[in-house]
Amino acid sequence: MKKFNYLLTAITIGAMSIVGCDPVEDINDQLEANEAGIFDVFDYTLTEDDYKETLELDYANFNTVDDAKALIPTVLNTNFPVLGDASLANVSYDLYAPVSTESSLIVYTVSTADYDANPDTAQYNNFDDEEQIYTFLDSKFPNVANRTLVSLTYVFYNGSAQTLNNGFLRVNGEWQFVLGLTSAEYTAVGQGFANFNTEDEALRKLPIFLLDKFKYEEIAVNTVKSTMYKLYTTDVDDIDGDGSKTDRATYSYIVNFIYDGSSWSEYNNTLRMTLQFGNDSGVWVPDNTIAYSFTQGDIALVSSTLLAKYPGPADNVGFFKSFDRRSGSSNYWSDDMMIEAIGIVLDSINPNAEEDQKYAVTVVIYNGSTTNETFFLIKTDGAWVAQ
């Protein structure tokens, strides 16, 4: 009798050890791992703390775009630890892109002798071709130190002869053109002489001057223009070569301006850039994904385009405005059919999308109840495919 008590106990324990696990546990774990978590689509601009504290950089900018791509995820992880998969961050950061300014100055007016030295310019005593200027500079100033600015006054023939004053900055053995103002332009910006009185005045008036000067040109955002302005100031460097360092002389200075799409401002050697990052299963990666939701028009387009190919499903989605995603249904939209349908819409709304452009497209589906489903596509070899 006792024997059977043991047997029964053994059977019970045996049965319990077999079933003492949760059959759905693995699925739940997987679902938890894949949990969309908290997600957001947001704009963010890196702060000085992000550069210097979080990333321990010396300067509040990145040297290269690759640095930005590599380091910004750290900032996002630090600042937004709870954000998970499907989050999209549009991040603004500063990229260090230095534009040289002068470290020494030569003020020079091209003389008749200079023009005569070149057979091309000897006849009219002016330049009529930019190459002629650089030929002149190379021969006149063959061995100037790096970052030497030549503030050059010369006559240029372009329909009529004009006296110009522009800068030429020697950078790594090359001359870089720096835009200067003509006397007429100084007059136009309200100066009595061909110079500014103070640096502040130059910095205030030059952006207005640039807007006016290029008002008929299409200037791209983040375009940097080097300008040269003149100040009548104490000749501490004896720039006029008269031996006195206490008299006054006209100095030239370079200042760079950057265009933000509507106005010019002084360029501080950093470009404001933006990069989109997407959160892929908890990891932030640079991402060009565009989020898009189907409109009624998109559904009508899909329904009509695919009616011949998938008569049942296409008719059904046109009527119910939702994609039937029950695999057992006769109007079932398989994953492949969904990608095909979304591709039709993307080709319609963004026919010139670049290669590797990604989309996250949300559509209304029916899987027993009406809900949303998001599909991720990428343009590959000119066609929209699932990511």
Partner 1 sequence: MKKITSLLALVFLLFTAAMQAQGTIRGTVVDGENNTPLPGVNVVVNGTTNGVTTDFDGLFEIQVAKNTGALRVSYVGFAPLTVNFDVTGKKVVDLGTINLKMDSDALDEVIVKAYSLAIDRKTPVAVSTIKAETIENELGSQEFPEILKTTPGVYVTRGGGGFGDAELRIRGFNSQNVAVMINGIPVNDMENGNVYWSNWAGLADVTSSMQVQRGLGAAMIGLPSIGGTVNIVTKSTDIAAGGNVMMTTGNDGYTKYGFTISTGLLDSGWAATASLSRTTGEQFVDGTTIDAYSYFLNVAKKINENHELSFTAFGAPQRHGQRQNRLLIDDYRVSDRGIRTNTDYGYKNGQILNHEDNFYHKPQMSLNHYWTINEISSLTTSVYASYGTGGGGGTAGLNKFGKYDTNYRDEPFAPVNFDQIVAENKALGAAASAETFLRASINNHQWYGALSTYNTELSEYIDLSAGVDIRFYKGDHSTELTDLLGASFYIDNNDVNNPNKVVKEGDTYNYNDSGYTNWGGLFAQAEYNKDKISAVLSVAGNNTSYKREDYFKYTPEDPLRETDWVNFTAFSTKGGLNYRLDSKNNVFANIGYFERAPFSDAVFINNTNITNENAENQKIFSAELGYGFRSDKFRADLNVYRTKWMDRTYTISRTADNIQYTANILGVDALHQGIELELSYRPIETLTLTGMASLGDWQWDNDVKNVQVFDDQQNAIGDPIDIFIDGVKVGNSAQTTFAIGADYEVLETTTLRASFNYAADYFADYNPTGRTTSNLPQTWEMPDYGLLDLGLTHRFNFGGFNAQINANVFNVLDTEYISDAQDGSGSVASTALVYFGAGRTYTVGAKINF
Binding interface with partner 1 (CB under 8 A): 1, 4-5, 8, 11-12, 15-16, 18-20, 22-28, 30-32, 34, 308-309, 311-312, 315, 325-330, 332, 334-336, 367-371, 373
Of 190, 187, 188, 133, the residue nearest 158 (C-alpha): 133
The C-alpha angle with vertex 86 and arms to 302 and 91, in degrees rounded to 5, equals: 110
Helix, strand or coil, per DSSP, at residue 163 = strand
Q: Which is nearer to partner 1, 39 or 332 (CB)?
A: 332
Contact 178, 254 (CB under 8 A): yes
Q: Which is nearer to partner 1, 67 or 373 (CB)?
A: 373
Helices (H), the chain: 2-19, 25-33, 48-49, 65-79, 112-117, 119-122, 130-140, 183-188, 199-213, 296-305, 311-320, 335-349
Q: Which residues contact 187 (CB under 8 A, 6 or more apart)?
A: 194
Please state, in angstroms and rounded to a whole number, the distance separating the CA atoms of residues 138 and 179: 19
Q: To the nearest whole angstrom, how small is the minimum distance from the Cβ of residue 371 to partner 1?
A: 7
Please state, in angstroms and rounded to a whole number, the distance separating the CA atoms of residues 147 and 132: 21
Strand partners, 253: 229
Contact 156, 134 (CB under 8 A): no
Q: Which is nearer to partner 1, 201 or 373 (CB)?
A: 373
Contact 378, 290 (CB under 8 A): no
Q: Which is nearer to partner 1, 276 or 367 (CB)?
A: 367
Of 163, 211, 208, 205, the residue nearest 183 (C-alpha): 163
Q: Which is nearer to partner 1, 21 or 145 (CB)?
A: 21
Q: To the nearest whole angstrom, how small is the minimum distance from the Cβ of residue 324 to partner 1?
A: 9
Q: Which is nearer to partner 1, 13 or 208 (CB)?
A: 13
Please state, in angstroms and rounded to a whole number, the distance separating the CA atoms of residues 29 and 16: 22
Q: To the nearest whole angstrom, how small is the minimum distance from the Cβ of residue 366 to partner 1?
A: 11
Specify the residue for token string 């008299």.
247
Q: Which is nearer to partner 1, 86 or 206 (CB)?
A: 86
- What DSSP element (H or E) covers 275? strand 270-280
Q: Let me know how long the chain is.
A: 387
- Angle between helix 296-305 and helix 311-320 axes, rounded to 10 deg: 160
Q: Which is nearer to partner 1, 30 or 47 (CB)?
A: 30
Q: To the nearest whole angstrom, how small is the minimum distance from the Cβ of residue 321 to partner 1?
A: 13
Q: To the nearest whole angstrom, how small is the minimum distance from the Cβ of residue 3 to partner 1?
A: 9
Helix, strand or coil, per DSSP, at residue 107 = strand
DSSP state of 52: I
Q: Which is nearer to partner 1, 27 or 208 (CB)?
A: 27
Specify the residue for token string 């008929």.
216
Q: To the nearest whole angstrom, how small is the minimum distance from the Cβ of residue 342 to partner 1?
A: 14
Q: To the nearest whole angstrom, how small is the minimum distance from the Cβ of residue 284 to partner 1?
A: 24
Q: Which is nearer to partner 1, 28 or 45 (CB)?
A: 28
Q: To the nearest whole angstrom, how small is the minimum distance from the Cβ of residue 316 to partner 1?
A: 9
Q: Which residues contact 9 (CB under 8 A, 6 or more apart)?
A: none
Cα-based torsion angle of the residue sequence 75, 78, 83, 87 in order, rounded to the nearest 10 degrees: 10
